[in-house]
Structures are given as structure tokens and as C-alpha cells.
Amino acid sequence: MHEWALAEAVISTASQLAEKEGISEITEVKIKVGELQQVELDIFEYALSQLKTEKFKNAKFIIETVQAELKCRVCGYQWLFKKDELKEEVQEAIHFIPEIAHAYIKCPKCGSPDFEIVKGRGVWLESIKGSQKYDRPKKDDNK
Amino acid sequence: MIDPRKTIINERLKEIANIIAVSSGKGGVGKSLIASTLALTLAKKGYKTGLFDLDFTSPSTHLILGVKNVTPIEEKGIIPPVIHGIKYMSIIYYSGEHAAPLRGEDISNVLIELLAITRWSKLDCLVIDMPPGISDATLDIIRLIKRIRFLVVTTPSRLAYETVRKLLNLLKDLNIPVLGVMENMKMQDSNFIRKHVEEAGVAYLGEIPFDKQLEEAIGDVNRLLETEFSGRIAEIIERNSRLLVPK
């Protein structure tokens, strides 16, 4: 149920962003979820629905899954992460800490564990939309 | 795009009264043993204590505590298991016996992930065992944990102190509180470290003699707490308890 912790982070960040942007009611939240973390979308969506505050009452959560792409820093080979090729306990370890992939996955071409996670690591808040019922705080207001 | 994990970190840490990073510019000075013994001693004195091993590429506190066949509970995040009375978190639960070769960016990501998902609950003190140096982990801890205070470890070696001196300067420049310096593995009388620490305006917390029995106590917490090493740390804690756990 580690999806709850990630959902909590998304709600908290979206709320802060709405505050900053002067949005009083959020209508849309776009989230990107990287495949490497293997977030269970059903649980994640349920957690979002349970954790959302009044500000999100009419919000639509749009979740896009991003394929995880890895690139070897030694030979430059680029490949896609495939969880089915890993043991269940390894999948679970990567689920909690995606960088643990470096302990278990090696470049299929040269065998190096020194690779870059090009995309598809974890959870990102892409954007929010909503109705602005009050003016966005201006920079001059802080002076 | 925004990384949502950072906004939740302070929420996760809000019930922790004191957060102490046990750090040094140099490796091999005894940080992990001091961090583990500090956490065990505080727990023994009745403080609710946590220990977080932040040395992701070379963790060792699990060996000191003799941690085996334990995994955190998953409950709306992860709940650290209680080991010998302390809430204990380490990358070792996930990397096991495997080497985890991580670059700076990966280290930052692991740290942010664990800070965002670990539910420590109420603690009097969280002790963090830092990796050596003033690289990614040190900079990230300073960036992410606003209430962090440092306890710095050195040996009598001038080589060790040269890097410790730089760490102390960095922390001073960044206005990060330093609880003081512990001088570990003392083998002969010398005033060198005390003099330089005090000249730098930092508290000299005390010295810990080199303890030949210590290696044999690794993995056996009861034996560890009976060593001269642990006795000295308990004395230092006793003398400085208002500084270490003021509330």
C-alpha cells in the first residue's frame, strides 16, 4: 500500500500548486507514472479519491503510464525495462526504491550496472487545471 | 513536471523532535558504530529513537545491530521495523547482499523516496548514519531536512581532521547547527583535536579510546553495549543530553 504515500504526495503538491496559481477549485490533475516503480494503478487511483480534499471535489485525475527506458553509461545501449524478466522479490524491491534496479539489472549488451534511467522512473505531477476565483499573487505583493 | 515527493517529506518528519546526522568528512572514523550506539543508548534511556542508514552504497549498521530476515511493514507507506528498541531503516531491506552502485542523482532519488514513504511516527530522536564526505547525501540532507543538526566524528589523525575541518566550515557557512565533535579511536594523549575544534568555535563533546574488544561485539548488541566504547558514548550522552535531546 505504498501507493498511498505517493498519492498523498501528489495531493499535497497539487494543493500547494493550486494555492500558488490562485486556483480555488481544481478540475483536472495530470499525473505521469513510470513503469519502473510498478505502481498499482487501481490502488493509486483509489488512494487519490480517498485523500482528495474539498478543493478536488470535481477534479478528474488523468494518469499516463510512461514506459521505463534504460541507457547504459558504458556502451550506450538503450533498452526497455521488463518486469516479467525479474523475480518477484526483485520486482517488489524496485517498486519501493526504483534505483534498486542498479543492484539487480545489468546492461543486456555489456553487463554493466552503470545505466541511466532515461524515463519512466516514478510518479510526477504534470499539470493541474482549475477555476481561478481570486487573482494569482503578484510578485510585487511581497515587496 | 513536478516531483511530488519533496512536499511530503516535512509531513513525514513532523512528529520527530530531534534529527541528528552523524557525519564526518572522512570514512573509517567510526560513524556507523557511533550512530548505532548513540541510537541504542538513547533507546535504553527511554527515548523513542530511530536509526536511518543513509550510506546507501556501503551500509553497515545492519551488521552492527545484527539485523536478519526483517522487512518493513507496508501500510500507506512503509513502517520501519523495531530492532533492539529502535525503529530501523536501511536500503539493505531491498538491496540484500547485492552491491548497489549508485551515482549522485540516484542517491538523491533513493533519499527522497525513503524520506517520502517512511512513516516514522512519533520519535524523540532520529539518528542518521551519514556516508563520508560532503557530497550528495550531505547536501541533500541539508536541503531536505530543515531541522537537521550535525554530530561530527573524527579520529586523532590530522588527515581525518583536515576533512572534518572542511565539513565544519561548510556547515558554519550554511548556518547548519553542529552539536559538537567526538574524537574516536584515541590511542595516546594529544590535545590537537580538542584545540582545533574549540578554536573553530565548536563544542568538543569528548574522546573515545580505541577499543580492541569492539570488533568482536559487532552483531551482538548486548556485548556492544558492555564495551568501553559504548560506556564512553553513554557518558558523552549523559553530559550532553540537554543538547542532544532537548525536548
pLDDT digits (tens, 9 = 90+) for A9-68: 999 999 999 999 999 999 999 999 999 999 999 999 999 999 999 999 999 999 999 999
Query: What class has domain B6-244?
Result: alpha beta
Please give the Cα distance from B116 to A34 (Å, whole number): 17
Using alpha carbons, select from B101, B162, B111 the residue that is nearest to residue B133.
B162
Q: What are phi and psi of B172, to 5 degrees?
A: -65, -45
Residue A83 in grid coordinates: 518486469
Q: Tell the CATH topology of A2-131.
A: hypothetical protein PF0899 fold (3.30.2320)
Domain assignments of chain B as residue spans, ordered by start: 6-244
**pLDDT tens profile A69-86:** 999 999 999 999 999 999
ipTM rounded to 2 decimals? 0.89
Angle at which helices B104-117 and A2-21 pack, to 10 degrees? 100
Predicted confidence at residue A142, as pLDDT, reads 46
Q: Are the C-beta atoms of residues B119 and B72 closer than 8 Å to each other?
A: no
Contact B113/A97, CB-based, under 8 Å?
yes
Of A12, A16, A93, the CB nearest to B94: A93
Residue B62 in grid coordinates: 545492519
Coil, strand or helix at A57: coil
Please give the Cα distance from A47 to B230 (Å, whole number): 45
Contact A114/B101, CB-based, under 8 Å?
yes
Mean pLDDT of B18-45: 97
What proportions of chain A, in percent to the nearest 5, are helix, strand and coil? 40, 25, 30
- pLDDT exceeds 70 at position A135: no
Using alpha carbons, select from B168, B239, B157 the residue that is nearest to residue B193.
B157
Of A2, A99, A125, the CB nearest to B4: A125
Contact B77/A2, CB-based, under 8 Å?
yes
Angle, CA B234 vertex, CA B231 and CA B237 arms, to 5°? 155
**pLDDT tens profile B97-134:** 999 999 999 999 999 999 999 999 999 999 999 999 99
Closest residue in B to A103 (Cα) is B100
**pLDDT tens profile B54-98:** 999 999 999 999 999 999 999 999 999 999 999 999 999 999 999
Please give the Cα distance from A95 to A121 (Å, whole number): 10
Q: Are the C-beta atoms of residues B205 and B180 closer than 8 Å to each other?
A: yes
Contact B8/A5, CB-based, under 8 Å?
yes
At CB < 8 Å, which residues of chain A contact B? 1-2, 4-6, 8-10, 12-14, 16-17, 32, 93, 96-100, 102-104, 113-114, 121-126
Single-letter amino acid, residue A21: E
Domain assignments of chain A as residue spans, ordered by start: 2-131
Q: Are the C-beta atoms of residues A63 and A44 closer than 8 Å to each other?
A: yes
The answer for residues whose C-beta is within 8 angstroms of residue B115's C-beta and 6 or more apart is B5, B9, B12, B13, B144, B145
Q: Please tell me if residue B192 touches chain A, with a CB cutoff of 8 Å.
A: no
Mean pLDDT of B141-158: 96
Closest residue in B to A93 (Cα) is B94
Residue B236 in grid coordinates: 558523552
**pLDDT tens profile B164-208:** 999 999 999 999 999 999 999 999 999 999 999 999 999 999 999
Residue B12 in grid coordinates: 513525514
| Confidence tier at A2 by pLDDT (50, 70, 90) | confident
